[in-house]
Structure 1
Amino acid sequence: MKKLHKLIVISYLRPFVATFFIVSFILLMLFLFKYIDELVGKGLEWYTILQLLGYNFAVNVPLALPLAILLASIMTFGNLGEQYELVAIKASGISLSRAMVPLVFVMVLLSIAAFYFSNIIMPHSFLKMGALLYDVRQKKAAFSIPEGVFYNDLDGYSIRAEKKDADGKTLYGLMIYDHTQGNGNMNVVLAKKGEMYKSDDDRYLVLNLYEGVRYSENPGENGYNDRQRQVRIRFKEYGLKFDLSGFNLSRTKEELFKDHYQMLNVRQLLVKEDSIQNLIATKQQNLNAYVEPTFLIFRPHANYKKIIPEKDLKWKNKDVLMNFPAVDRLQVVDDAINSMRNVKSYLTSAKDESTAQFEILRKHMVEFHRKFTLSFACIVLFFIGAPMGAIVRKGGLGLPVVISILFFLVFHVLSIGGEKFARQGKLEPYQGMWVATLVLVPIGIFLTYKAASDSALFDIEKYQRFFIKLFSKKQNQ
């Protein structure tokens, strides 16, 4: 039995590792295609891009791991069935369920590892990737002045060079507009040649200009003539310094992102949910305290005396307003309208704020259940893939890939749909996050039962014989 268990585990781990990294690589390529415009042309270091890909690799585990488990299960037992090794195992008195026992222990270990990954590693990876991706997006494109085109990425300056050397550091025929004073194109610098270099800390760009002139137009003393004075200064050598802080990758503090729901573990999510629920309860109490003084119906426990107008107040007119003096009627109506407007405005604001708070609460609860659904999905998909492979008895990358993709699409579509409905409040968070797994549980039980009883569920010849027999009976009738 030990040799058999070792054989089955090794037969499973090989396709599992291969498919896991293949699926992870495909997801990495999708990530690159999505953010290619954010990464190209910014002069990022190779280790920065590698770091971003490493964080994304960890984030993609919830998609790669279930598919790898499902595909590896079908391939492993499909290969055993195709090579008649399952027949030999059953002939030796070992049932399929007993043969699956070592892989069940492997699945339990993978589920525990998946929960640890979802609870500890994934929040950390989301935090690192979110902060780094934000910094990459904020970084400007790599500094490079093209020929014959105005370059406007330097804050406050617009630069055009007619020609530049191959080294990119020597420029000819320079025209520079200085917009730092915010008064338009009032300051212009022309130069025949310029040489540029960066400071030692790469924070500044120094541009030395040679053989040029600087034009500056200033408004008059009264301020009504914008072109009253012009200053022209010729120079043999003139220096400009530009701030390059926007072209460097500056790292934002990760503390600014750590409160996001995707970057919290189970304990932090529970604390955050309690805080949000307490905040919602406090807002509701404040709302009641504001509304109750305005409407008597919100004070059901107050002891109000029933008033009969004819006897107690001796009102002559059933219209309450007409019983007030004429000079006070307008004031009474204005007070009532203003009171209703204030209440309506407060209720509208409170409703919008409450909707936003409940939406945030649902997101935290969805993320809380996600930590557990990944672990349970690994076990459920194994009990779908293993009996499916034993039934179809086909190994390799043909039919197992097709079957695994179909089941994974069902699982993924149900997961995405349930999560969307949970975020929108159409389903409870636990219902939306567990619907995909709970739908697949009966399928796994059914397939396991059929595989254990040697059912020819996917035997095409059996169905062909059935339909041939059925049509032959109809023809004889």
Structure 2
Amino acid sequence: MKKIHLLLVKAFIWPFITTFFVVMFILLMFFLFKWVDDLIGKGFEWYTILELMYYASAANVSMALPLSILLSSIMTFGSLGENYELVAIKSAGISLQKAMQPLFVVIIILTIGSFLFSNYMLPKANLKFGSLLYDVRNKKLSFLIKPGVFNNSIPNYSIRVDKKDDDGTLHNIMIYDHKGNGGIPKIIMAKQGLMEKTSDGKFLVLKLKDGVQYEEQANNSGIYNPRQIFYRNRFKETEPRFDLSSFEMNRTDPNAFGNSTPMLNLKGIARKQDSLTKVLDTFNRNTGINMANNFKQNNIAKGYTKIKAPVKKIDDVILKTIPNGSRKQSIENAFGSVSAINQSLTNDAPRAKDLTGEIIFARIEYQRKFTLAASCILLFFIGAPLGAIIRKGGMGLPVVMAISFFLVYHILTTVAEKSAREGSLNPIFAMWIAVIVLSPLAAFLTYKATVDSALFDVNYYKQFFTKLFRIKQRQP
């Protein structure tokens, strides 16, 4: 019995490791394709890009782990069925459920590990990934000179060259210096130049040769003066410096993103949800009080009297009960009150919508910690019996079946989550709807695999339809 358990575990582990890293690689390529415009051409160090890919791969575990479990379980039992090893195991008196027990223990370990990872490691990875990606996306383009195009990457300067050699030599250079001089730019033109950085990398030095500098004196009075001073200086060589401090990527403190919901564990999400609920309740209560104040009657005591006035009944048309001289003022007051209510609701509605959306998102992220673990068990009970039924190993049919079922699971989860964030579904039900829908399918496949059903056997269906057609032909 122990040898069979060891055989099954070994048959599962290697496909699982292989498929896990293959899926992680594919998802990482998708990440690079998505953010390639923000990574290429910005002068990043290689270790910065590797660090970003490392954090991105940690964030992709939530999708790679269930898919790899589904794919490896189909491949394992499909290979056992294709090589008649599963038949030998059943002939020894071991049912499919008992054969699945050692792998179920492995899946439980992976499930517990995935829950601990999503609760403790994933928030930290999301925190590092979010802060680093923010810095990457907000870093300015590196100074790339393109011939025939004005480059405005350096603040207060516009640089254009006609030609650029492979060794970095520039030809026919034109520089507009917008710094100072009352908004009137200085113009520098040179026939040739060479671009270099200082040893500390803080300044860009442009060694210009055979050029001229034009400068016009600013007029303080703001009136055009035809005798305004105009300078023209010719030079053989000059070396203007440009500050490159704006091109340095300053790393943002990750704690600045620490209150974001995907970067919190279960306790943090629960505390944030409670605080958001209290803020929303206070906001709704204050809004209700402000709205009620617009409908209160202003009572002004004019003195005391023993005369009892009869109760005045207000007709459907309220204006009839108001004296003619006060009707215009009453309409203006009512219009002002309605305008104030409308303006208040217009200002308060976005805030209430944002708070409600944050509470829903917090509830979704709270349930996501558990659905990741539950999906590992669910997809195993879909993949293992499915592999025993199709009896095909390798990367052919098992991959197609695994991707098909995973797409169903992923689409159900994505659509339900989107509906929950829009307020159409309960967040708890939305995050568990894929598990609820696919659990009967897992039980059905397990039953069919136990009774050796030919559910995906093409020959079985051919024989069935052939017999059906023969019966129809024999009927008069």
Determine if the alignment matches structure 1 residue 391 to structure 2 residue 389. Answer: yes
Aligned to 2:459: 461
Determine if the alignment matches structure 1 residue 382 to structure 2 residue 380. Answer: yes
Determine if the alignment matches structure 1 residue 186 to structure 2 residue 199. Answer: no
Aligned to 1:411: 409
Q: State the one-letter code of the partner of 1:4.
A: I
- After superposition, residues 17-96 of structure 1 pair within 5 angstroms as 17-96=17-96
Structure 2 counterpart SS, 1:292:
helix
Could you list the per-position Cα deviations for residues 249-274 of structure 1 after superposition, in whole angstroms to 9, with x for gaps in the alignment? 22122122222221111111111111
Q: State the one-letter code of the partner of 1:424.
A: E
Aligned to 1:301: none
Cα drift, residue 349 of structure 1: 2.3
Q: State the one-letter code of the partner of 2:33.
A: F
Q: Distance in 2 between matches of 1:51 and 1:132?
A: 9
Aligned to 2:176: 177
Q: State the one-letter code of the partner of 1:57.
A: S
Is contact 2:181-2:217 (8 Å) kept? no
- After superposition, residues 158-307 of structure 1 pair within 5 angstroms as 158-163=158-163, 166-168=166-168, 170-181=169-180, 186-225=185-224, 228-295=228-295
Structure 1 counterpart SS, 2:206:
strand
Kindly report the root-mean-square deviation, in angstroms, between the aligned alpha carbons of the 2 structures: 2.5
Cα drift, residue 296 of structure 1: 5.4
TM-score (norm: length of structure 1): 0.90
Could you list the per-position Cα deviations for residues 252-305 of structure 1 after superposition, in whole angstroms to 9, with x for gaps in the alignment? 2212222222111111111111111001100111012112222359xxxxxxxx
Is contact 1:220-1:229 (8 Å) kept? no
- In structure 1, list runs of 5 or more residues that go unmatched: 298-309
Structure 1 counterpart SS, 2:216:
strand
- Give % identity: 48
* Cα distance change, pair 316–191 in 1 and its aligned pair in 2 (3 A): closer
Aligned to 1:303: none
* Cα distance change, pair 129–316 in 1 and its aligned pair in 2 (3 A): closer
* Cα distance change, pair 470–174 in 1 and its aligned pair in 2 (3 A): closer
Q: Distance in 1 between matches of 2:404 and 2:170?
A: 60
Is contact 1:77-1:389 (8 Å) kept? yes
Aligned to 2:305: none
Cα drift, residue 404 of structure 1: 0.9
Cα drift, residue 210 of structure 1: 4.6
Structure 1 counterpart SS, 2:242:
strand
* Cα distance change, pair 182–415 in 1 and its aligned pair in 2 (3 A): farther
Is contact 1:215-1:231 (8 Å) kept? yes
Cα drift, residue 203 of structure 1: 2.3
Q: State the one-letter code of the partner of 1:59.
A: A
- After superposition, residues 294-443 of structure 1 pair within 5 angstroms as 294-295=294-295, 312=310, 321=319, 324=322, 326-443=324-441
Q: Distance in 2 between matches of 1:474 and 1:269?
A: 64
Q: State the one-letter code of the partner of 2:198.
A: S
* Cα distance change, pair 241–470 in 1 and its aligned pair in 2 (3 A): same
- In structure 2, list runs of 5 or more residues that go unmatched: 298-307
Is contact 2:24-2:61 (8 Å) kept? yes
Structure 2 counterpart SS, 1:155:
coil
Q: Distance in 2 between matches of 1:311 and 1:54?
A: 82
Q: State the one-letter code of the partner of 1:379.
A: I
Is contact 1:73-1:382 (8 Å) kept? yes
* Cα distance change, pair 395–353 in 1 and its aligned pair in 2 (3 A): same
Q: State the one-letter code of the partner of 1:406.
A: S
Q: Distance in 2 between matches of 1:415 and 1:468?
A: 40
Q: Distance in 1 between matches of 2:239 and 2:322?
A: 83
The number of residues matched between the two structures is 464
Is contact 1:385-1:404 (8 Å) kept? yes
* Cα distance change, pair 419–322 in 1 and its aligned pair in 2 (3 A): closer
